[in-house]
Amino acid sequence: MRLRLLIFLTAVCLLPGIYSTELKAQDPNLANQYFMDGEYEKAASLYGQLSEQDEENEYFFNRLMESLLNLEKYEEGEKFIKKRLRKMPENVMLYVTYGNFYERQEKEEEAAQQYEKAIGKMASDYASVTRLANTFVNNSKFDLAVKTYERGASLMRDPNRFAYNLGDLYQRKGETDKMVNCYLNALSADPGKLAAVQTRMARFLAPSDFASLQAQLYERIQKEENPDFVELLAWSFVQRKDFKSALRQYKALDQRLGENGQRLFKLAEEAADARDYDVAISAYDYIVAEKGHLNPFFFDSKQAAMECRRRKITEGFAYTPTDLQILETEYENFLAQYGKGRQTSSIILQLADLEAYYINNLPKAIELLEGMKLMHGLDRYTLARTKINLADFYMMSGDIWESTLLFSQVDKEFKEEQIGQEARFKNARLSYFNGDFQWAQAQFDVLKASTSKLIANDALDLSVFIMDNLNLDTTSEAISLYSGAEMMVFQNRFEDAFLKLDTLRRDFPEHSLQDDILFLEAQIYEKKRDYAKAAALYLDIVEKYPQEIRADNALYAMAQLYENKLSDLEKAQTLYEKIFIDYSGSVFAVDARKRYRILRGDKMQ
């Protein structure tokens, strides 16, 4: 009994203490609730008590000040600030609070004085400087943040200590030249900042701003031996697609640092992708000539240079027989020097293409690839590519049986893979070229579900094309003429194709193929680099046959021409918009919307 009484009395004695602790723990939550509900009198009372209990807690004090400001109790708030300053004269954040208190009363001069005091009393360590600067930034006081960083750099006796932060601030202020200068200062102090600086430049510099960047870089390069500046200068040229100037800088950097040519190899790839073949070839040739055969990029550079020479000559179809002979000799000399084997298989494939499509020496192209089929150690994908290309050449030479046999072999071995689907598509297209339209259409219907978007779209186009132009006709003569013309375009026999299309137009003037004839003629002119004539023909299709299946194809092809070849981005944007508005069900609608947004300047995720 005594034990129970003792426990009860002890518990009763402890109750006030327990109650007091729980109340204290609840006060911040209650104060926050009052503040969020706009009950600032109650919030100020509780925050005042909490701030007295815990003078180190700036959150309570700031909420107290905010509550008093909302109540417009300026004199009371100023007393609290002065009292806190007497106890903590080195707490610069109090001067910011004091300045904000004056600013809310529209006492701009007094506020400015307090902000300047905060900067003047700031401690000389990184954390103090960045904290004060961030406080100003969060209140959009960018000029004061600049002053904070500048004084911090002076206190720490390191003029570039906050250069990157200052660059960010000047970007916010829209002062591009100062932004660039600060980022370059940051790069000068810390080479590890190169990638970050490039990212910021790419994000915030307008095309017209790169001239300022380059001018500042040239000036610094004259005064300072910093390879990062040369790297950044070369990078800036690449951003403007000025690969020739970039090549000059990368060569200088390669020689200065004694590198292995990796930067030049990457530049050559970018130039080649942008179809600046002269620069790409120069970069590859430099690696071959200057780095020697033991260099890790030697062999790839030699092959890539030849590929660029081939593309330079053949892509525009503006070449002479002499140009082709010179290129053919380069390939043959390369193979004579390095032999025909697995390592040179890509060169053999390129030479075979040259012989078949441009020199019109199909027997030699076939001989090259028949030899590749027998090579030991050739990986299965290269062998599959060899068979597909060889099948194309047999098809061009009229050996339909051998062609379909090779396509079928690849289809069977790679049934569920993209290269197998490519072989299946080409086999079906062979049947289409050969006049077996119904079997071809059945295959195209299956391939519409291909994992390759390109194959699926092409299969859909051909399936619909056959259905539109064969099923309602009593004869296949018209579509046979058209497919024959397509075969000639495939063989680069453009004049023969034009003649066959003229025959089709003359003999079947009322046939539904009229828009298709224009489309194929436009494609021929595009291959011949007569882009203006191609665009005019695409426009004819859209205006004369807006409801036919070629209309959206023509619009998309025309938009691509204006964007990539004719450099009329405004026209391209208008055409892309027309596709996804007027032809929303088109397979090109999604990509057209994406291209439209990019040309409009939207930031894409």
Residue 537 domain-assigned?
yes
DSSP 602: P
Of residues 571, 573, 562, the one with CA closest to residue 598: 573
With bands split at pLDDT 50, 70 and 90, how would you rate the model's confidence at 471?
low
DSSP 450: -
pLDDT at 378: 92
pLDDT at 303 over 70: yes
Residue 388 domain-assigned?
no
Amino acid (1-letter code) at residue 310: R
Least confident of 102-106, 428-432, 589-593: 102-106
313-339 per-position pLDDT tens digit = 877 656 788 989 999 999 999 999 999
Residue 354 burial by Cβ neighbours in a 10 Å radius (0-12, 13-18, 19+):
buried
pLDDT at 3 over 70: no
The mean per-residue pLDDT over the stretch 365-371 comes to: 97
Spatial CB neighbours of 35, under 8 Å, sequence gap ≥ 6: 43, 47, 63, 66, 67
In a 13 Å sphere around the CA of 139, the CA atoms on its Cβ side amount to 16
User: Taking a C-beta distance cutoff of 8 angstroms, is the pair 210, 240 a contact?
Assistant: yes
Residue 293 domain-assigned?
no
What range does the domain containing 577 cover? 513-600
Top mean pLDDT of 318-322, 467-471, 551-555 is at 551-555
pLDDT at 287 over 90: yes
Comparing 157 with 57, which gets the higher pLDDT?
157
With bands split at pLDDT 50, 70 and 90, how would you rate the model's confidence at 605?
low
pLDDT at 604: 54
Expressed in percent and rounded to 5, the helix, strand and coil fractions of the chain are 80, 0, 20
pLDDT at 173: 92
Mean of pLDDT over the chain: 87
The mean per-residue pLDDT over the stretch 477-492 comes to: 88
pLDDT at 409 over 70: yes
- The full length of the chain comes to 605
Written as six digits, the tokens of 580 are 């996804």
User: Taking a C-beta distance cutoff of 8 angstroms, is the pair 117, 95 a contact?
Assistant: yes
Of residues 57, 291, 356, the one with CA closest to residue 299: 291
Using the CB atoms, write b or e for 387-408: b if 16+ within 10 Å: bbbbbbbbbbbeeeebbbebbe
Q: How many domains does the chain have?
A: 1
User: Taking a C-beta distance cutoff of 8 angstroms, is the pair 80, 94 a contact?
Assistant: no
Tell me the C-alpha distance between 291 and 259, whole Å: 9
DSSP 159: T
Spatial CB neighbours of 118, under 8 Å, sequence gap ≥ 6: 92, 93, 95, 96, 99, 132
Tell me the C-alpha distance between 366 and 329, whole Å: 18
Residue 583 domain-assigned?
yes
Comparing 83 with 130, which gets the higher pLDDT?
130
Largest interatomic CA distance in the chain: 123
Q: Give the whole-number percent of the chain exceeding pLDDT 90.
A: 53
pLDDT at 263 over 50: yes
The mean per-residue pLDDT over the stretch 443-453 comes to: 86
Rounded CA Rg of the chain: 37
pLDDT at 12: 36
16-70 per-position pLDDT tens digit = 433 333 444 457 888 888 888 888 888 888 888 887 888 778 788 778 878 887 8
pLDDT at 16: 40
219-243 per-position pLDDT tens digit = 999 888 889 999 999 999 999 899 9
Residue 322 domain-assigned?
no
How wide is the angle at C-alpha 273 spanned by C-alphas 350 and 536, nearest 5°?
Answer: 95
95-110 per-position pLDDT tens digit = 888 888 888 888 889 8
pTM check: above 0.75: no
Tell me the C-alpha distance between 406 and 400, whole Å: 10
Residue 552 domain-assigned?
yes
Residue 260 domain-assigned?
no
What is 238-307 written as a DSSP string? Answer: HHTT-HHHHHHHHHHHHHHHT--SHHHHHHHHHHHHTT-HHHHHHHHHHHHHHH-TTSTTHHHHHHHHHH
User: Taking a C-beta distance cutoff of 8 angstroms, is the pair 237, 246 a contact?
Assistant: yes
CA-based end-to-end distance of the chain: 76
556-578 per-position pLDDT tens digit = 999 999 988 888 999 999 999 99
DSSP 604: P
Residue 213 domain-assigned?
no
The mean per-residue pLDDT over the stretch 549-556 comes to: 92
CATH code (residue 543): 1.25.40.10
171-219 per-position pLDDT tens digit = 999 999 999 999 999 999 988 889 999 999 999 998 888 988 999 999 9
Residue 466 burial by Cβ neighbours in a 10 Å radius (0-12, 13-18, 19+):
buried
- Compute the Cα dihedral for 146, 150, 156, 159 and give only its sign: positive
With bands split at pLDDT 50, 70 and 90, how would you rate the model's confidence at 474?
low
Q: What does each C-alpha distance from 190 to 160, 161, 259 come to in angstroms?
A: 9, 10, 21
Tell me the C-alpha distance between 176 and 167, whole Å: 9
- Which residue's entry shows tokens 């051998």? 402
User: Taking a C-beta distance cutoff of 8 angstroms, is the pair 437, 466 a contact?
Assistant: yes
Amino acid (1-letter code) at residue 338: Y
